[in-house]
Amino acid sequence: MATTADQAAGDELAAIERALEQLLRLYASRKVHARRSAAAGVMITQQGYLLLRRLQEDGDLPMGELARITQMDPAAAGRQVRQLEEDGLVTRTRGEEDGRVVVVTVTPRGAAVRQRLSTVGEDHMSDVLADWPPQDREQLARLLPRFVEGLRGVPFRSSLDELAS
């Protein structure tokens, strides 16, 4: 029989999962991305922004490595990079050591686009958190990365294990 404490813990976990689902839907929303892009005065796909941000954070990357670290299908990443190149946001060159490798580099225009999108995002976050007490913002800044690392590192428990018990 479940105790009151067990029920409260279950309610907390359910509330966290619901909020996380809402957050993921919000950040995956094309409409939200379109509003952010419009506010920044740029046109770029969500996937294009992901690639651009990663390149700017990590520096020049071989195409295969860029697809791997952004967890994108290599063909899809290639299409996105081609569009970014057509828009003047990145360049593709052959690797110096291995001519078969394509290396992707952010252009100054790409860096400016990424900066404008980042500024809009940071301003929005500042507006969202404006009414939060400083200790709540600090606690969120401390706990959210910890939560993300836990989601990355802790494997799912199989429901089959529980059924066998």
| Reported pTM | 0.77
Region of 59 (left: φ > 0; alpha: ψ -120 to 50; beta: rest) is left
51, 45 contact by CB (below 8 A):
no
Name the helix (H) or strand (E) containing 93: strand 90-94
Helix (H, G, I), strand (E, B) or coil at 59: coil
Helix (H, G, I), strand (E, B) or coil at 61: strand
149 CA to centre of own chain = 13
Look over the chain and give the mean of its residue pLDDT values, rounded to a whole number.
Answer: 90
Give 104-159 pLDDT, tens digit per residue: 999 999 999 999 999 999 999 999 999 999 999 999 999 999 999 998 899 988 87
Bridge partners (DSSP) listed for residue 62: 103
Helix (H, G, I), strand (E, B) or coil at 138: helix
Tokens standing for residue 78: 């290639």
Which residue in 92, 82, 91 sits closest to 45, CA to CA? 82
In whole angstroms, how large is the CA radius of gyration of the chain? 21
pLDDT category of residue 39 using cuts at 50, 70 and 90: very high
Residue type, 142: R
Name the helix (H) or strand (E) containing 32: helix 30-40
In this structure, whether the domain defined by 10-123 belongs to CATH 1.10.10.10 is answered with yes
